[in-house]
Copies of this chain bind each other. A is one copy, B any other.
Amino acid sequence: MSKLRFRISISLDGFVAGPSQSVENPLGIGGTRLHEWAFALAVTRAQHGLEGGEVNESTPVVEESLANIGATVMGRNMFGGHPGPWDAKEPWNGWWGVDPPFHHPVFVLTHYAREPLALEGGTTFTFVTDGIEAALEQARRAADGKDVSLAGGARAAQQYLAAGLVDEMEINLVPTLLGSGERLFDGVGDDLHGLDLVRTVAPPNVTHLKFARR
């Protein structure tokens, strides 16, 4: 069966975004420090249409996390722009420009209905107003046998984790402190729902901890 796979970068003190997230600063203050390891990699740069970058111990981890993904689910805060109803005249179309790096169907959790948005390169955004299980079901159908990626942000991840719906979780632990911001595990409780640590990869600047059901 199609798995729900989640990967995220997190600080040593448990934050996945810094404080004061905004349109200008979507990762919050200091939040980009969580992603420096990834943006140094050729595989990540290529995903965003950029040349250059490194090949190192993290490369196969990122390649694995990108492989066999047929659809994505994400929260409204990750899709971004602003909270509340969509602007009817100039609706927010995501952070990623006309050719987002997904290249497959993306399902956005929101309380506000909206027509689907088709962008270049095969990325379509479908807005789901009836909850995390409905979004996952639609994503699984769209993935057509492949897996579904849970892209975040923190609140969407918390809901899927608390419900025990995540099948694989790749924690990219960055050895830095953010001090405040969005905590990944807030409200998730004390149950990993059978997710065990199954593999650790430890380059100098990030620790990759893979959790899965045995």
Contacts and interface: CB of A to CB of B under 8 A. Distances in A.
Interface of A: 12-14, 30, 171, 173, 175-180, 183-185, 188-192, 196-197, 200, 202, 204-205, 207, 209, 211
25 contacts: A12-B185, A12-B209, A13-B14, A13-B184, A13-B185, A13-B188, A14-B14, A14-B183, A30-B190, A175-B192, A175-B197, A176-B192, A177-B185, A177-B190, A177-B191, A177-B192, A179-B191, A180-B190, A197-B205, A197-B207, A200-B202, A200-B207, A202-B202, A202-B207, A207-B207
Counted per complex, copies of this chain come to 2
A14 B207 CA distance: 15
Nearest to A192: B177
A176 to B, nearest CB: 7
Contacts of A30: 190
A35 to B, nearest CB: 16
B175 A190 contact: no
